[in-house]
Amino acid sequence: MSRRSRRYAVPGSERGMQAFKAEVMKQEGYRVDPNRPDDVKYEVAKELGVPLRTDGENGELTTEEAGQIGGRIGGSMVREMVRMAQEQLSGRKQKP
């Protein structure tokens, strides 16, 4: 089975989103290689006890297990985006 390709709504935003993911996950205490920010999913999976394989053969994962990994990463990103939007709307800087 081939890997699903992501398509961002804004063309050319992939690099910025990957950098944002790396920064957010660093703030969450994960070690992130800035050249490979997607690899943080393996550290998250290990922490959660989800058997995510690096060879891409993860067909045996349940949707719940996959959701736990993606939810931890995506949830952290969404929380940071909300915090940033609130800061921008209030017109003042806040500490993360």
Q: Which residue has the higher pLDDT, 82 or 35?
A: 82
Q: Is 84 inside a domain boundary?
A: yes
Q: Is 18 inside a domain boundary?
A: yes
Helix axis angle, 40-48 relative to 63-90, nearest 10°? 120
pLDDT digits (tens, 9 = 90+) for 18-35: 899 999 999 999 999 988
Q: Is 19 inside a domain boundary?
A: yes
Q: 71: buried, middle or exposed (CB in 10 Å: 19+, 13-18, 0-12)?
A: middle
Whether the pLDDT of residue 95 is over 70: the answer is no
Write down the pLDDT at residue 4.
58
Q: Is 62 inside a domain boundary?
A: yes
| Domain, as residue range, for 18 | 14-90
Q: Is 37 inside a domain boundary?
A: yes
Q: Is 6 inside a domain boundary?
A: no
Write down the pLDDT at residue 2.
45
Q: Is 3 inside a domain boundary?
A: no
Q: How crowded is residue 18: how many other Cβ atoms within 10 Å of its Cβ?
A: 15
Domain count, the chain: 1
pTM of the full predicted structure? 0.76
